[in-house]
Amino acid sequence: MTRGTPLVIGIDIGTSGARAVAMDPSFAILASGSAKMADFSADHRDPAVWWTVLQVALGGVLAGIDVSCVRAISIDGTSGTLLPVGASGEPLAAPMMYNDPVSDAAILARIARCAPQDSAAHGATSGLAKVLTFQSLPNVFRILHQADWLAGHFTGLYDVSDENNALKTGYDPVARCWPDWIGETGARMDLLPDVLPAGAPIAGISADAAEAFGLPDDVVIVAGTTDGCASFLATGADQPGDGVSALGTTLTVKMLSERPLFAPEYGLYSHRIGDMWLAGGASNTGGTVLAAHFSSERIAELSRDIDPSTDSGLDYYPLVRDGERFPVNDPQMKPRMSPRPQSDGDFLKAIFEGIAGVERLAYDRLCGLGSPALRSIRSVGGGAQNPVWTTIRSRRIGVPFLPVLSEEAAAGAARLALAGAKEAGVL
């Protein structure tokens, strides 16, 4: 049988549902599917619900393509979500989600004592803290990240992870190993999965999974990544110095670098992707400041009368409360949002300018820590849709603002599937 244009599938599991896309080698998205967890259960922590929404989202994609053309599949999941499993992959306890803290002070103290300062395993929500919590369960075979467990449904292997999801569990992406200090915390290192680079082939699809989905028996399952890394990759950013700014409730900036950047005082760590590193940080400024003063309708109305080519003359550092984490690490830092002009439009303009100033400072901070010079920015999130704000940002930061190919994390996972398919020789 002659097969048509090869396709890969990327799947994203978020906190509320799943999305999947089919992508060709030119990065064009040819089909998509989605499912909401709330349509099946009120419990988004139930792994069975994760698998259900994945199947529905994947089914939506497969219904829109020639299934015989699929060459590879990759999955991203929420960073720091872990669950203990038995030898056949069966969950042994409810998972701990990415934002679930470990309350055992002794566990946190052991990690703090043993982990290097620049390790991402510090903190109550770290993956390693969850490993130490789960490891005493009877019959535990491995403790896996969310994406690991779901990928296991396609391979039958429940002992493999990727370098990005493993980072918060203590994996050393520079040495590319689980470091010995993890064992010094009392963690059972035999319960940690084997780790592959994001985008590396894991194994061929199992016969059961191929039959269940009607997929070819030579489909390759590819190591995935975290949802944050996948969202970055989806934009099309792929060169050192490419930055992505997420203008949501908070301002998050990420940049590709030839070298890893670690600055725990700013909450800054680096994920290894191919031959490059993805580093970034999150500020407390962003859309939350705008929402504290204006409705979205009022912002749109006022923006129409703002001239983005001129400066307001005001120097704001917009925050809704005391404290900043990046690009300034100061828990006592106070908002700077005065004087307030009489005109709401002028006030909004000054806030736009202030957030743009923080964005520029954030990229300058990355450069000061060793990243390459910023060469471009792609913008995602609700704030990216405001053309006036975009013009202000572009003028303040002074680099090209490039179009975003996709804001779907599933598209980032699909890009990893393409890389893995090429490495495996099936593309």
pLDDT for the residue numbered 1: 40
Q: Which residues contact 174 (CB under 8 A, 6 or more apart)?
A: 260
Model confidence at 333, pLDDT cuts 50, 70, 90, reads: very high
Mean pLDDT in residue range 169-181: 97
Kindly tell me if the per-residue pLDDT of 91 is higher than 90. yes
Band (245; pLDDT cuts 50, 70, 90)? very high
pLDDT digits (tens, 9 = 90+) for 258-309: 999 999 999 899 999 999 999 999 999 999 999 999 999 999 999 999 999 9
Which residue is listed with tokens 């504290």? 292
Q: CA geometry: angle at 96 spanning 75 and 141, to 5°?
A: 75
CA distance 115 to 150: 29
Work out whether strand 142-145 and strand 160-162 pair parallel, antiparallel, or are unpaired. unpaired
User: Are the CB atoms for 307 and 343 separated by under 8 Å?
Assistant: no
Each residue's pLDDT tens digit, 352-392: 999 999 999 999 999 999 999 999 999 999 999 999 999 99
Answer yes or no: is pLDDT of 310 > 50. yes
pLDDT of 227 higher than 90:
yes
Task: Return d(Cα 405, Cα 75) in angstroms, integer.
Answer: 19
Question: What class is the 237-402 domain?
Answer: alpha beta
Averaged pLDDT, 236-243? 97
Whole-number average pLDDT of the chain: 96
pLDDT in the model for residue 25 = 97
Domain ranges across the chain: 7-229+409-424, 237-402
Percent of the chain with pLDDT over 70: 100
Question: Comparing C-alpha atoms, which of 213, 192, 76, 212 is closest to residue 143?
Answer: 192
CATH of domain 7-229+409-424: 3.30.420.40
Amino acid (1-letter code) at residue 92: L
**7-229+409-424 and 237-402 share one CATH topology?**
yes
pLDDT at 2 over 70: no
Share of the chain above pLDDT 90, in %: 97
Evaluate if residue 56 carries a pLDDT over 60: yes
Q: How many residues does the chain have?
A: 427
Query: Residue 354 is which amino acid?
Result: G
| The pLDDT of residue 267 | 87
- What does the alpha-carbon distance between residue 34 and residue 390 come to, in Å, rounded to a whole number? 30
